[in-house]
Amino acid sequence: MRVLITGVGDAYTKEHFGSSALVEAPGGYVLIDCPDPIHRVLKEAGDAAAWDVDVTGVDDIIITHLHGDHSNGLESFGFYRRFVSGRSPGAVRPRVHTTPPVIEHLWRKLSPAMGSHWASDDAMKLDDYFDVRVIDPDHEAHIAGLIVRCRFTGHPIPTIGLLLNDGGATLGWSGDTPFEHAHVQWLDQARLIVHESNLGDAHTPIEDLNALPDALHAKIRLIHLPDNFDPASTDMQPLREGEVLTLE
């Protein structure tokens, strides 16, 4: 499994893009979260890593939650795939994989901008843009050849962490979360863990991660960091946009 880090910042970043990644799965690319500006997000990370990929090459998106720094790019992604590349023969709707509480509110978020369009005489609907598929903690999901499990975190709105397995290696993705021992133990099933660290009750202070055993430190990489994050505050590695993680 190879994972291209496309964003490492938080909701207030002036220097980065919202935390996100592109997984090279057995059945195609899978995008974890979809921040704005998604076209630039993919281009800059792809250029840095020599990955030639844009929204036309990504058919699966996992949305962990609906905060804008994780989901605002869906509007532009959906417009492009519906009205630009969607005109091509054989074009498919991109698949959005997320939990029932997110699905409940997803079109409410998108419809003010996407509910009508000059190119259509009828009101547009969510499924005009996306093939929405449910993932939940009680069942494994199969996405582009990955086995995906999820777990709700304690973030203020419904949010999930992820375990993604390609048949060999497993990647853990914390999602936005306050520190929780049970969540870290669940993620510890993975070979490599991408864990957020930020300020406030809704996120995980670096001090709590620093207090974990050394064996966990060795497998944790840090994301969703504030712009003023001090790398000297920890022995765990902050991720960079354009960095590729390889799990064997």
Angle at 103 between CA 18 and CA 185, to 5 degrees: 60
Residue identified by tokens 């021992």 is 181
Q: What's this model's pTM, rounded to 2 decimal places?
A: 0.96
What is the CATH classification number for the domain harbouring 197?
A: 3.60.15.10
Tell me: pLDDT of 89 over 80: no
Q: Which domain holds residue 8?
A: 2-240
181-209 confidence digits (pLDDT tens): 999 999 999 999 999 999 999 999 999 99
Q: Does residue 51 belong to any structural domain of this protein?
A: yes
194 in a structural domain: yes
Number of domains in the chain: 1
Examine residue 137 and say whether the peptide bond preceding it is cis (omega within 30 degrees of 0).
no
Tell me if 54 is assigned to some domain.
Answer: yes
Residue 245: inside a domain: no
